[in-house]
A and B are shown apart, each in its own frame.
Chain A
Amino acid sequence: GQNIDQPTEMTATEGAIVQINCTYQTSGFNGLFWYQQHAGEAPTFLSYNVLDGLEEKGRFSSFLSRSKGYSYLLLKELQMKDSASYLCAGMDSNYQLIWGAGTKLIIKP
């Protein structure tokens, strides 16, 4: 079956670094997406990886290892506004997104 696993909740301190892990199993693979979802709002696109390695975009970076079925989202210099859920989604061979339940990130001052 297809499955996305990520931690339910994480807590970090303002100004610190946090890594949110995701493991995936999809039927075929066409890439791994990360979305941010603030409470009561729509998911918004953060990153897309289809090749192994690290993609850096400002304070956010995303890593992919296809052989391990593993990705992580790295957030640096955390700000209070980064408090949100972070959704990992794998794209299968039919270009359908398989979503994780999201990791709720709580930032403390």
Chain B
Amino acid sequence: DTAVSQTPKYLVTQMGNDKSIKCEQNLGHDTMYWYKQDSKKFLKIMFSYNNKELIINETVPNRFSPKSPDKAHLNLHINSLELGDSAVYFCASSTGTGDAETQYFGPGTRLLVL
């Protein structure tokens, strides 16, 4: 069974569209994350979320919004897509105990905005 799964794996869309990426974890973790990995391979944290707190990276445009229907899911909704949004988006999860924790990553969603 896949621990952290994401759909879709590939997403090609036009500028200006709105799209969502879904993430699910079956590890029983309390904290989930969204990362963006650009062409230079830097992983940049976008959001971290548990059932208590949403932490937003201030550099993330408000076109990006996380939505969590329950603690096993953290979806990423993107409005008005721009060319610069093209990247690989990784979802991750950790136990959420508040200590230094290992993060487990999903397979990534490769977004290409045309």
Contacts and interface: CB of A to CB of B under 8 A. Distances in A.
Interface residues of B, number: 21
> Interface residues of A toward B: which range?
20 to 34
Interface string B102-114: 1111111000000
Interface stretch (B11-19, B38-46, B76-84): B38-46
B100 A42 contact: no
A86 to B, nearest CB: 11
Contacts of A42: 4, 90, 105-108
Interface in B22-67: 40-45, 48, 55
Contacts, number: 45
Given A33-B102, A41-B107, A99-B43, 10 more contacts: A42-B90, A42-B108, A43-B105, A45-B102, A48-B100, A48-B102, A50-B100, A85-B41, A95-B99, A97-B45
Interface of B: 4, 40-45, 48, 55, 90, 98-108
Interface of A: 30-31, 33, 41-45, 48, 50, 85, 87, 89, 91, 94-97, 99-102
8 nearest A-B pairs in the assembled complex, by CB-CB distance: A42-B105, A99-B43, A31-B100, A30-B100, A45-B102, A102-B41, A101-B42, A43-B105
